[in-house]
Structure 1
Amino acid sequence: MATKKEKKTRIAAVGDIHVRETDRGKWEEFFRKASEEADVLLLCGDLTDTGRTAEAEVLAQEMKVCTIPVVAVLGNHDYERDNQKSIRKALLRDNVYVLDGDSIVIGDVGFAGVKGFGGGFDRGMLGMFGEPMIKSFVQEAVDEALKLDGALARLENDHIDIKKIAVLHYAPIKATVVGEPEQIFPFLGSSRLAEPINRRGVIAAFHGHAHIGTLEGETSKGVKVFNVSRPILQQEGYDPTYYIFEV
C-alpha cells in the first residue's frame, strides 16, 4: 500500500528590510507574494530603519495583507532608540509572533528566536576576561545563547519529533559573514549562538545583519545556516527578496 506523502512546510525568510516612515504602500505586494508562495514568513531582524516606533507602525500596516503566520526577531536597528518594547507591541497581532527567547509551533515546525549578539567566532571569539565593559559585552552574547537554548529546550520537551528552526539576527557562524571586512566580524555574530543550535537538533538557522556576507554555510555539526539579509538576496537575484526553505 502506498504511503501518504508527507506535507512539507514552505518557509520564506528575509532579514534587514529596514522599513521607513515613507514606505507606506511599498511592502504590500511583497507580503502578498510571500503569502502565495510560503506557509510561514520569517523576518530576521532590522525590521525598522532607525528604531522608531512609527516605522514599526508602517510595517504593521503593510503586513495586514499577509495571510500566513509571520515569525520575527528584532535586530540592532530596532534597538537603536531603546524603543524595542513599543516596536514589538506595534507589530504583535494574530499570526505575527515577535520572539525573544521564546518559541512558537506552526504545524509540525517549531521556531525559536532571539536577536543574538556579537563576540566573534571560533578562535577569534572574545573571552570573559578584562575590564568590566568587555565582560558585559561577552555576557550579552552568553545571555542571548542561553535564551536560544532555553527556547529550543522547551520545544524539545513539549513536542515529540518537532522540527526545530532557529531565527536570529546576528550570525551563529563565521561562514555566512564572509565578504564583510574581517575587522568587524566580532560585531556580526558569535559562535556561542551555534552551541545550542548544534546541541538541540536544529535543522536550519536563519539570520541577517551582515549585508555583504554569504548566503549559506553550516555549523560544525552540519546544521544549515542561511544569511537572508535582503541586500544579499537582492545581489543573488532573488525576486521577491526572500529565500524559500522547505521543511
Structure 2
Amino acid sequence: MSEFNEFDQQGSVPNRETGSIISHAFEMYKGVFGYGVVAMIIYMLGGYIIQLVTGFNSSSMMEDVDFSGDYNYWATPGLPLYMTFSGLFGLLLSPLYVGLIYIVNKYNTKNPIEFSDLFIGYRQNFVNILLYSFLSGLIYAVAAMLCFLPLIFVYPLLLIGYPILLFENASATDALTKSFNIAKENYGTFLLTGILGMLISVAGVVLCGVGIILTAPFMMIVMYSTYCAFLGKPRQIMFKN
C-alpha cells in the first residue's frame, strides 16, 4: 500500500487577496514552468493523435463554419468520436495537473524535484482525482450550456479542489464540498483570482498560438497559491513505495 510521510519545510504563503496570490503564483511558476511545458506538450500531442485517429480536422471545421446559425457542428466528420476520445483523454490527464501542483509545493518548500514527481497523481488518490475531474467537468458543462457567463461564476467555487485532493488525500466529494464552502465565504477574491488566472493562462493564444504551451499551466499554480493563502502552506508529501 502507498504510504506518505509529511514534514514541515520553509516556504512562502501569499496574503488572502488577489494581487498577492497572483504574484505568488508568478514566482512559483518561474521555477517550475519547464514541467508545465512538458504537461502541455503531452496534452497537445494526445489531442493531435486523437485527431488523426478519428479523422476530425479542427482547422477544416473552422473554415466550413456558417456563422448564420444553420451550421450543424455534429455533422462534421469525426467530431462525435473526437469529442468522446478527447473527453476520456482529458480525464486521464487530470492526475498530471495534480503532479504539477505537487512539484510547485516541492519548489516552494525548497525540496529537490524529480521528473517522476509529475506523475504522482497516478500513484496517489488516483481514483478520486478521476472522479473529481469527471464531476467538476460535468458541473462546468452544465454551467456552459446554460450560458457562458454562469461558467465564469461557477469556476471559482472549485478552484482549490485539486490541491485538496493531493495534500489532504480527500475524496472527490469532500474536495468538491470543501472547495465550494471556502470559495463561497471568500467569493470576491476567488472570482477575481480565477478570472485573472484564466486570462493569463489563455494569453498564449492571443500573443502567439503556440505560446499557450507556456501560459496554460499557470492556472494550476494559481490553484496552489490560492490553497496556500486560505488553508496555509501544505506540509511536503514524500511518496514511498
TM-score by length of 2: 0.27
Q: Looking at secondary structure, tell me which structure has more strand per residue.
A: 1
Q: Looking at secondary structure, tell me which structure has more helix per residue.
A: 2
TM-score by length of 1: 0.27
Larger radius of gyration: 2
